[in-house]
């Protein structure tokens, strides 16, 4: 049991919690929701023991193992597989003790620790780690790549795998789906449903919470309110409570009328496709839950262009992919015929890396076609959202200034009124972007797109960093948008609520998908099962009884023969880390604009010389590491 009794937590002059009470029982799966900055991560920190309450008491069960997902990954040359295995710190301690017993020749201790290793399921650990990594989107060829080779989003996936690898009684996950695609989200959802311990989950993905959680804790007005059921149950309960408040009555009715208009819009399309039937049911459900969000600070619409074309864009016999600096072409989608008409609302599905982003970038003209034609309508006006738009924001400019640059003649009061719907209220509209969170940047990017009045919205994972209230506001805005929509998202609620049809990007092709997201999940599982059968050559896997004693002897022999090579690899890893850290320091110094003044010429020359030397050292160390790694792999293969 985890219990908060009259807990108060203050940050600066602001209270995040004030005499809050909460009891979570063993085995419950709890979704923690609340506005950004309300204190959800601070609550996690108190459970982990990293933060103390100012008053009150936080009671945690004794001898309970707590696992959590770190939000950052430090630079390391450890392989992805080893990094994941590090999550089981008890297993790593046992392995260290086995090695120590071998080194000292303590046979009694060696035998004892080998028994502990077996009890800790050490013989299946590597297989379990590979299963976790594959479920989160990593390929077998990624297993032995160093963590430093992966981008930031993939490193966060490694942190998630590491947390899942840790044997635990309590699991804390903070936004685990933020950097996942739809396939990985579905896999993680299934894994967490089977997790036997107590789960506390912070997420802004309502369908994800719905599928997993048995209880919801709402952090609101410095209190912790527990609701029994999943997120949809919470919305209904909260809606019933708010509906009793007379002051909200008129606004509630306005929202209900808006939702009813949207239901009516699609009612007569129900026999057109399977998706329309399921969407109609969802919209009827939304009519019930809509009032739960009537106190949201976000409320905006996306105006459409005054002129449009019936055929907005058309790719004809197009080959899509990339051309490298060496003019080498890599094709991802071949012989593509794909058109978007006015008013069409399309969701893109497909495995990670199949080419969804390539298709989108080809449509918006961000990358050229390898061959074929891209034909656009005369009045095409694209509003394009991707994570690239966030990095393109001017960090020194305010939200108001961003829009003034688009429309210099518009009054500032009108701009501020418009930005208020996106949550930029009062002085927030005048703050520099450099102080914004990821969610605030995403909201600003969406506001800039809406301001341009597009007739085709192309959205690539628009809900990353957005909280539940903003996601609800975006869903309603897209429902009311009369133009065309092309959407890639791992947020199934957004997909179900805003698109009419799905297209599948897989096996270097794009084609209409006749089914809903449940059908896509079934397709994905069948595809993964087929891939597994092919890897195993259609043969049944036979599990033989293992001679543990012989296996331990061979393992010890293998470690002894490979120890010198592993030591070399560790030395090369340290050399790489030292060189990289030196280059990072030099890079930071060279970012100083005053360094390029005439008086600093000698300092600049010295830095450039040091940079060249450390780059050479880095290349040599990396080359030596690769050679030693190849020797190790060859030796391992020879001994097997």
The domain ranges of the chain are 1-65+168-229, 75-158, 244-285, 311-381+454-514, 552-639
Sorted by sequence, the CB contacts under 8 Å of residue 489 that are 6+ apart come out as: 182, 347, 459, 461, 462, 463, 495
Record the pTM: 0.67
SS3 for 217?
A: strand
| Residue 580 to residue 568: CA distance in whole angstroms | 18
The tokens 């009150």 sit on which residue? 56
pLDDT for residue 565? 74
In order of 141, 142, 325, the CA distances from 331 in angstroms are 21, 21, 15
Could you tell me if 317 and 335 are in contact, meaning their C-beta atoms sit under 8 angstroms apart? yes
Could you tell me if 168 and 198 are in contact, meaning their C-beta atoms sit under 8 angstroms apart? no
| Residue 135 to residue 158: CA distance in whole angstroms | 11
The single-letter DSSP state of residue 352 is T
pLDDT for residue 542? 39
pLDDT beneath 70, residues of the chain: 242-296, 532-562, 626, 632-640
Q: How many CA atoms lie within 13 A of 394 on its CB side?
A: 12
Pairing type for strands 66-68 and 170-174 reads: parallel
What tens digit of pLDDT does each residue of 314-342 get? 999 999 998 877 778 888 899 999 999 99
Q: Is 105 exposed, middle or buried (0-12, 13-18, 19+ CB in 10 A)?
A: exposed
> What's the distance, Cα to Cα, between the start and end of the chain in Å?
48
CATH code, residues 552-639:
1.10.287
| Residue 301 to residue 312: CA distance in whole angstroms | 22
pLDDT for residue 399? 94
| Residue 548 to residue 554: CA distance in whole angstroms | 10
| Residue 502 to residue 518: CA distance in whole angstroms | 12
**CATH architecture for the domain at 1-65+168-229:** 3-Layer(aba) Sandwich (3.40)
Sorted by sequence, the CB contacts under 8 Å of residue 23 that are 6+ apart come out as: 1, 2, 3, 4, 226
pLDDT for residue 394? 92
Q: How far is CA 18 from the centre of its chain?
A: 32
311-381+454-514 CATH choice from 3.50.50.60, 3.40.50.150, 3.40.50.300, 3.40.50.970: 3.40.50.300
Q: Which residue(s) pair with 322 in the sheet?
A: 330
**Which alpha helices (DSSP H) does 146-213 contain, by range?**
152-165, 182-193, 206-212
Pairing type for strands 345-349 and 501-506 reads: parallel
Q: Which residue(s) pair with 10 in the sheet?
A: 15
Backbone angles phi, psi at 177, to 5 degrees: -95, 0
| Residue 618 to residue 622: CA distance in whole angstroms | 6
Angle (CA) 315-319-324 rounded to 5° is 125
Establish whether domains 1-65+168-229 and 552-639 are of one fold: no
């Amino acid at each position: 049991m985890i219990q908060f009794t009259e807990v108060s937590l203050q940050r600066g002059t602001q209270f995040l919690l004030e005499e809050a009470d909460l009891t979570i029982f063993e085995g419950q799966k709890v979704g923690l929701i609340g506005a950004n900055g309300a204190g959800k991560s601070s609550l996690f920190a108190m459970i982990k023991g990293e933060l103390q309450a100012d008053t009150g008491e936080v009671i945690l069960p004794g001898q309970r193992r707590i696992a959590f997902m770190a939000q950052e990954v430090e630079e390391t040359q450890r392989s992805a597989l080893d990094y994941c295995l590090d999550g089981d710190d008890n297993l790593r301690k046992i392995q260290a003790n086995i090695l120590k017993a071998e080194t000292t020749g303590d046979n009694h201790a060696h035998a004892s620790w080998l028994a502990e290793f077996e009890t800790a399921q050490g013989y299946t650990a590597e297989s379990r780690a590979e299963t976790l990594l594959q479920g989160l989107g990593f390929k077998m060829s990624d297993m032995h790549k160093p963590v430093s080779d992966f981008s930031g989003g993939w490193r966060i996936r490694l942190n998630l795998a590491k947390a899942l690898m840790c044997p635990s009684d309590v699991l804390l996950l903070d936004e685990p789906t933020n950097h996942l695609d739809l396939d990985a989200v579905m896999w993680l959802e299934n894994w967490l449903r089977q997790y036997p311990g107590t789960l506390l989950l912070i997420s802004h993905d309502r369908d994800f919470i719905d599928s997993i959680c048995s209880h919801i804790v709402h952090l609101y007005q410095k209190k912790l309110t527990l609701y029994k059921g999943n997120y949809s149950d919470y919305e209904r309960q909260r809606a019933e409570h708010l509906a009793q408040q007379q002051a909200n009555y008129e606004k509630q009715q306005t929202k209900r009328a808006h939702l009813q208009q949207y239901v009516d819009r699609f009612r007569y399309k129900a026999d057109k496709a399977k998706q329309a039937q399921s969407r109609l049911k969802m919209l009827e459900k939304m009519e019930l839950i809509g009032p739960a969000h009537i106190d949201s600070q976000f409320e905006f619409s996306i105006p459409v262009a005054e002129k449009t074309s019936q055929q907005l864009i058309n790719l004809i016999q197009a080959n899509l992919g990339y051309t490298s600096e060496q003019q080498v072409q890599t094709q991802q989608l071949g012989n593509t015929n794909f058109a978007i008409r006015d008013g069409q609302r399309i969701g893109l599905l497909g495995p990670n890396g199949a080419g969804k982003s390539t298709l989108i970038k080809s449509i918006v003209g961000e990358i050229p076609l390898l061959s074929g034609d891209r034909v656009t309508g005369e009045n095409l006006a694209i509003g394009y959202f991707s994570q690239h738009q966030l990095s393109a924001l001017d960090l020194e400019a305010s939200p108001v200034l961003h829009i003034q640059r688009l429309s210099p003649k518009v009054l500032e009061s009108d701009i501020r009124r418009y930005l208020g719907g996106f949550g930029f209220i009062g002085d927030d509209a005048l703050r520099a972007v450099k102080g914004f969170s990821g969610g605030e940047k995403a909201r600003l990017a969406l506001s800039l797109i809406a301001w341009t009045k597009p007739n085709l919205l192309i959205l690539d994972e628009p809900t990353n960093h957005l909280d539940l209230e903003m996601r609800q506001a975006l869903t309603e805005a897209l429902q009311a948008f009369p133009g065309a929509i092309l959407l890639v998202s791992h947020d199934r609620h957004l997909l179900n609520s805003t698109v009419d049809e799905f297209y599948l990007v897989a096996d270097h092709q794009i084609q209409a998908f006749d089914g809903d997201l449940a059908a896509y999940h079934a397709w994905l599982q069948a595809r993964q099962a087929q891939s597994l059968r092919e890897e195993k050559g259609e043969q049944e896997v036979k599990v033989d009884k293992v001679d543990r004693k012989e296996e331990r002897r061979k393992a010890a022999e293998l470690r002894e023969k490979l120890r010198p090579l592993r030591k070399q690899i560790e030395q090369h890893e340290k050399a790489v880390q030292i060189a990289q850290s030196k280059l990072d320091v030099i890079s930071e110094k060279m970012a100083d604009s005053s360094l390029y003044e005439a008086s600093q010429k000698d300092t600049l020359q010295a830095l450039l010389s040091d940079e060249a030397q450390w780059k050479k050292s880095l290349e040599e160390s990396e080359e030596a590491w690769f050679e030693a790694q190849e020797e190790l792999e060859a030796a391992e293969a020879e001994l097997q």
